[in-house]
Each structure stands twice: as C-alpha cells, then as structure tokens.
A and B are shown apart, each in its own frame.
Chain A
Amino acid sequence: MRWNELGKFLIIALAIIGGFCVYINPLANSIKQGLDLQGGSHVVLQAVETPEFKVDDDAVNRSVKIIERRINGLGLTEPVIQRQGKDRIIVELPGVKDPENAIAMLGRTALMQFKDDRGNVVLTGKDLKDARAQVGQGNAAVVGLEFNDEGAKKFAELTARNIGRTIAIELDGKVLTAPVVQEAITGGRAQISGQRSVEEAEQLAILLRSGSLPVKIEVLENRTVGPTLGQDSKEKSIKAFLIGIAAIYVFMLVFYRLSGIVADIALLLYVMLLLVVMRYLGATLTLPGIAGIILSIGMAVDANVLIFERFKEEVRKGKTLRSAMASGFSRAIITILDSNITTLMAAAILFYLGTGPIKGFAVTLALGTLLSMFTAVTVTKFLLQFLVFANFTKNPAWFGISAPDASAAKVEVEEKPKTERVVRKVDNHVKKVGPQAAPKTDSKEAKK
C-alpha cells in the first residue's frame, strides 16, 4: 500500500465532493433562468408594410428603440429586445406581472394628435418633452404632458384660437379626451383626464414618452408562461434530475465498484463545471436545457463505460491493472472523440437553427459533451491512477472485473504479436518511470 498515492486520491475526491455540496445550490441559482422556468413572455413582433408606412431598415431600428423605451418603463429585470432579420423584433419579458397588457402595449402605434374642432392636426407626440402619470383633481388619475419649446408655442396658439371651443386629443385615431378650452395655456403643460386607474395612466404615459412607432407592428408569436407553471416546471425538473442521477450513480457503483466511485466523483465535478461555464457564458437555463444536462450525464457515463470496458478487456487478457488502465484509456479515447464529435455537430445545427428554449438545449448539450469528455477522460484517469498506483488492491474484482475467463484466452491468441510488443514496452516504461510516464505512453499509443 502506498499511502502517498491514496492520500492524493482522497484529497482530490473529498475536495470535489465537498465543493459540490457547498457550491451546487448557489451556483445553480446564479444561472439565468429561461422564461419557461421563471415565467414571462416571449414575443415575436413583425413590422407590417402599410400604404402609409414603408418597412425599411431605419424604421425597424427606430421601432426597436421605441419598444425598448416602452419596456424600460415596465421596470422588469433583464428584458431582451432584439432585432431579428429584416423586419422582426424579439422581445422577452421575464417575470412580467400583467403580460396581456404589456404585450398589447408593445404593438400600439401610439400616435398622439391634438386636433382643433375642424379636425386639423395641430400638435403630435413629437412635440412632447415628457409625459407622467399624476393624480389630478378629485383623486382622478391623469397624464401630465410637458411640451418642448416648439410644442409649447403651438399649444399656446391652439388654445388661444379656440377659447370656448373643443379640442380633441387622440391616440391612434381614438379620442382620449375632448375638453373645452377655457383660456389660452402658455406654460407648455397640459393634462389628459379620463383614465380609469393610475396603472392605465402610467401605461399611457409610457406610450406617450416613448414616442409613436414609425411602422405598423403585429404580434406574430407570443409564448407566455405564468409564474406558477414556471415554478412547477422547475421543481419537477429538479426532481427528475435527482432521480435520474441517483439511478446512474447506483448503476456505476454496482457494475464498476472502485472505478464506479471514481466515475461518480468525476460526474460531480462535471456538473459543477458545466454550471460554472454556463454562468460565465451568460447561458440561460431552460426546461429542455435541464433535460439536456440530465441527458449529458447519461452520455458522460458513456465515456467512462468505454474506458472501463477496455480496462476490463485488457485485464482479462492477462495484463496488470496498471498497464491495462493505461491502454484502456488510450484506446478508448479515440472512440470517445469520434462519437462525441457527432453529438457536437447535432448540437451546433440546433443552436444555429433553433430559437429560445431549443437554443438553450443546444448550448447545454454542446457544453455538456465537451466538458464530459474532459472530466470523464482526464479527471477519471488521474483519480484512477492514484487508486491503482496506491497498490490498494491487486484484485481486479475491486474494479468490477471478473477474473480472466476462457473467452479471454481466445481473444489473446487472435491478437497480433506486434501489439503485444508495444504493450510490453508500455509495461516497462511504467515500472521505470512511475506514474508520470502514463500520459506519455498514451500519446504514443494514440498516434499509432
């Protein structure tokens, strides 16, 4: 028994297990959650060409800016406003309290017009400097308007010319209020009354402040998840995650014993690394994304299974644990690379063509595949090396390997002498130089 090697194994293993227990929860919670988990609305808006308004690059860009201002008025954390392609705008409203109203607001043209009693447009929203919800006389909700210099001049003229007559304030052709002018107003301020609630006044104020859209905007797609369903999905997926992982862990322990423990520890590190990388890439965790993580754990195990099965085969051929492990790793790694690259290609296509939650799934799948190659190969290798070099046991049964059986002899005969020679060389090498030599022999075999 070499305590030195065993000590290294225990320190690393305990560090990973301890780190997992302490950091997993805060880490998981620090990742941005998709709308399907936290609730919110995903809206795709489309700029529509009308006889009056042409859809061009400038108009869409201005619309994005205006919609951005409208959304900022809602006070959400981390909303997303993105232009997509020629004439589409994607809006994400996480945790929005009143999705119906918010979405209705996004697409409003919000063209405000002041008209005299003959229907002439005297002022528009462009003459505004600010609009705020206020409480007016008798506790009524009103929207207070403040004109810019030019607007104030026009408004003073309008009121001066129309004393005793009605002027109308319209929004998108609908009359908001039509007061009778009592006297000329020169201060550059006006009020729109007739709002049912402070919320409604606030919404109107946001629309007026943000300006009117230069094109007609329609809601092409709307996906809203309420906070209850989001929470429910989150809880359920965590449960599925725990059960799936537990089953995989038990499986590895039962079939691979010590190797299984090593693989399980590597898996813990894998889950942590995946979350860390997701966090620093600013990736979003979605419901399919969580499924992707669970799945990637199932697949991460595949790399270990490939390695351990090779390990077993080599031991059955009569090799020592040490050399069997070295060649097990170096042979399996080619297979692992080839098979994982195809999964990466599928993930890349998904990322390129998918949207929303599907993109989230593609990201976790791709990251998962890359990271699992690292942990399942490198981390498992080091840990297993420490265990094997610790001379803890020479009995292969500890690694889930039954004693060499009859069929093994047959396989060995089939083997060409050439490989036998290489293997022997590896053996000597290991004995002479010790643990550090193992990676070197690896690369040699891999090249072959």
Chain B
Amino acid sequence: MLDKFRFSIVKNYKIFFAISIIFLTIGFGSMIMRGFNLGIDFTGGSIMDLKFSKAVTITEVRDVLKTHDLGNSIIQLESKDTSATSAEGVLIRTGVIDDAKRREVMSDLTSKVGKFDIQRVENVGATIGGELIQQAVMAIVLSWFLMIAYITLRFEFRFAIAAIIALIIDVSVTLSYFSLLHIEMDSSFVAALLTVVGYSINGTIVVFDRIRENLKLRRRTETLTDMIDNSIWQTMTRSIYTVGTSLFAIISIYLWGGETIHNFSFAMLVGFSSGAYTSTFLAGPLWLFLRGKKAGE
C-alpha cells in the first residue's frame, strides 16, 4: 500500500537531520532567550481559583490583595466574553506566600468582596518547587540510563546510543515547544515527558527490532543502507497506525479532557509526534553512522 511512496530514508538523511537541527536550534535559542514559563509547582506560589456568588471586578479583588502587600498578583476573570469587566469566576496568582497568610487573604475576600466557592486552591512553598526540578531532571536522566542499559542488553550498545539520541531530541523538542509558546509547565509536565520517553523509545525499538532480524537474514549483496531502509519501510504501516491511534487518544484528551489536563496532553501531543518522527527518520541512519558507515554502504 505504501510502496508507491517509497523513497530511501537513509540516503536522504541530510534532509531529516537538517529539519531536526533547524528546529532544535530555534528551540534552544528560545530556551536561552525566553526561558520557560514555570508554574508554581516549580517556582512556589499560590493559585486561587474562586467562584463568587455574584460578579466581581478585578479592582475589587486587587484592592483586598493590596492590603496584604500582594497588589502585584495576577488576577484574571474567568468569562467567555473576553471584554467583560466583571465575572463570577476569578483566578488569582500570587508569588510565594505562607499558607496562613493566604487563608487571611481569602477570609478578607469573603468579608470585603463577597462569598465564594473554592474551585481550586494551590499553594506551593519555594522549597518544594526546587525539589521538583531536581527530581524531574533526575527522573529523565535516570530513564535514559535505564533505557541504555536495557537496549544494550537486548540489542547492542550502538542501538542504545542511537535510540537515546532520538530520545534526547524528543525531550528537547517538547521543551522547545513549551518555551516557544510560553506554555506553563507544572508537575504533570514531568509525567508527560517521561511518558514521551517511554513511548518514543517504543517506536525506535520496533524499527531496531526489524533491523536486528533483517541483519541475521541479510545476504552479502544487500547493503546495510538498503537493509535499514527495508526495515523502516516494513514497519512503516505499523508506525503510521500506532501514531494514529495514540494521537486519537491524546487529541481527544486535549480537546475534551478539560482545562486542568490541557498542558499535560499538549506535551504528549508534541512529544509523541516528535517520537514518531525520530524513530522513523533518524534512529536508523544514526545507527548506521555509529557503525562507522556512510549512507549508501
């Protein structure tokens, strides 16, 4: 079915490497220049998502916050009409504050602005945020080492290195998107990233598994390049189908799963797409070059 589209992936490696390099350059540039939009899980701070029984204005809320020296907090109205000046739903973000102080602010809001229901309140101390960054980095790096160990055991070291390079690219691409679009990162981002790691390596392993199998069946006349191309194309339908079904799942979470899980699913959407790309177009050629061969050999 796919044969009419068939072309050599290994011989055209320059195009695929270039796409990745251009993207990563932009991504790293953005990470350095713009940095990340780290949520309170990382930086510490508090979020109060409140639903007042009557519509309130930003000024009313800010006046109360000012009396607690929190005048520079971010206050957003939650209204479908973006030009609305008052709404029942209000989202307040402050810097790091003591939970006792936050409670005082909330009881002041009740007495001065009006009664409300709590939708969501999060208050994270600065220490916890620092710990999370540490844990996240540790988790991702640990996962890489585990994968290297496993693939070396089941395949060989060069497969492991090629797979990890693909993986590092996927993680970097996901980080790039979050930096470029300045999307807020929270603790679930780390979970999404690790899922990307688990999934992306999955696709790479399916391709490598074919290469491993074809390596045994290979005749002397067949070049390594052709063999890799054959392996990639033999698994192409599977790659497309699997990407399809996983993306169905993620897109439905992204579109209908609600605001709370939006960024979580977006990270996976980006990571999975990148994972599909790197497993298909980069992993095979990378392995060939790690064996010290050039495309065509």
Interface residues of A (CB under 8 A from B): 36, 44, 46, 99-100, 103-104, 107, 218-226, 228-229, 232-233, 236-237, 239-241, 243-244, 247-248, 251-252, 255, 287-288, 290-292, 294-295, 297-299, 301-302, 305-306, 309, 313, 331, 334-335, 338-347, 349-350, 353-355, 357-358, 361-362, 365, 402, 405, 407, 414-416, 419
With A236-B258, A414-B217 as given contacts, are A222 and B248 in contact (CB-CB < 8 Å)? Answer: no
Q: Which 6 A-B pairs have the closest CB atoms?
A: A346-B198, A219-B99, A236-B258, A244-B252, A298-B249, A298-B246
| In contact, B245 and A248 (Cβ under 8 angstroms) | yes
**Once bound together, how far apart are the Cα atoms of A299 and B265, in whole Å?**
15
Q: Decide yes or no whether B111 CB sits under 8 A from chain A.
A: no
Contacts of B190 in A (CB 8 A): 354, 358
Shortest A115–chain B CB gap in Å is 25
| In contact, A295 and B249 (Cβ under 8 angstroms) | yes
Interface readout for B96-130 with A: 1 if CB under 8 Å, 0 if not? 00111011001100000000011111111101100
Q: Can you show 29 pairs from A to B with CB atoms below 8 A apart?
A: A100-B107, A104-B103, A220-B128, A223-B122, A226-B118, A233-B261, A237-B253, A237-B261, A240-B258, A251-B245, A287-B257, A295-B195, A297-B249, A299-B199, A299-B202, A305-B241, A306-B206, A309-B241, A313-B234, A335-B209, A345-B143, A345-B147, A345-B150, A349-B139, A353-B135, A361-B188, A362-B191, A414-B219, A416-B217
Contacts of A107 in B (CB 8 A): 99-100
| In contact, B188 and A358 (Cβ under 8 angstroms) | yes
With A251-B248, A353-B139 as given contacts, are A341 and B150 in contact (CB-CB < 8 Å)? Answer: yes
| In contact, A248 and B121 (Cβ under 8 angstroms) | no
Pick from A221, A243, A288, A416: contact of B125, CB below 8 A: A221
Contacts of B51 in A (CB 8 A): 226, 228
Contacts of B123 in A (CB 8 A): 219, 221-223
With A226-B119, A358-B191 as given contacts, are A339 and B249 in contact (CB-CB < 8 Å)? Answer: no
Q: Decide yes or no whether B3 CB sits under 8 A from chain A.
A: yes
Shortest A13–chain B CB gap in Å is 21
Shortest B254–chain A CB gap in Å is 8
| In contact, A342 and B249 (Cβ under 8 angstroms) | no
Contacts of A313 in B (CB 8 A): 234
Shortest A91–chain B CB gap in Å is 12
Shortest A330–chain B CB gap in Å is 12
Contacts of B151 in A (CB 8 A): 342
Pick from B205, B209, B238, B252: contact of A247, CB below 8 A: B252
Contacts of A340 in B (CB 8 A): 202
| In contact, B100 and A346 (Cβ under 8 angstroms) | no
Contacts of A228 in B (CB 8 A): 51, 117, 119
| In contact, A220 and B248 (Cβ under 8 angstroms) | no
Which residues B186-226 have CB closer than 8 A to chain A?
A: 187-188, 190-191, 194-195, 197-199, 201-203, 205-206, 209-210, 213, 217, 219, 222
| In contact, B99 and A301 (Cβ under 8 angstroms) | no
Which residues B144-186 have CB closer than 8 A to chain A?
A: 146-147, 150-151, 154
Q: Decide yes or no whether B287 CB sits under 8 A from chain A.
A: no
Shortest B242–chain A CB gap in Å is 4
**Once bound together, how far apart are the Cα atoms of A407 and B194, in whole Å?**
39
Interface readout for B1-45 with A: 1 if CB under 8 Å, 0 if not? 101000000000000000000000000000000000000000000
| In contact, B194 and A224 (Cβ under 8 angstroms) | no
Contacts of B265 in A (CB 8 A): 291
Contacts of A344 in B (CB 8 A): 198
Q: Decide yes or no whether B49 CB sits under 8 A from chain A.
A: yes
With A44-B128, A233-B258, A342-B150 as given contacts, are A100 and B103 in contact (CB-CB < 8 Å)? Answer: yes
Shortest A425–chain B CB gap in Å is 18
**Once bound together, how far apart are the Cα atoms of A288 and B150, in whole Å?**
27
Q: Decide yes or no whether B82 CB sits under 8 A from chain A.
A: no
Contacts of A353 in B (CB 8 A): 135, 138-139
Contacts of B71 in A (CB 8 A): none
With A100-B106, A347-B198 as given contacts, are A288 and B188 in contact (CB-CB < 8 Å)? Answer: yes
| In contact, A243 and B198 (Cβ under 8 angstroms) | no
**Once bound together, how far apart are the Cα atoms of A344 and B202, in whole Å?**
11
Closest to B48 in A: A224
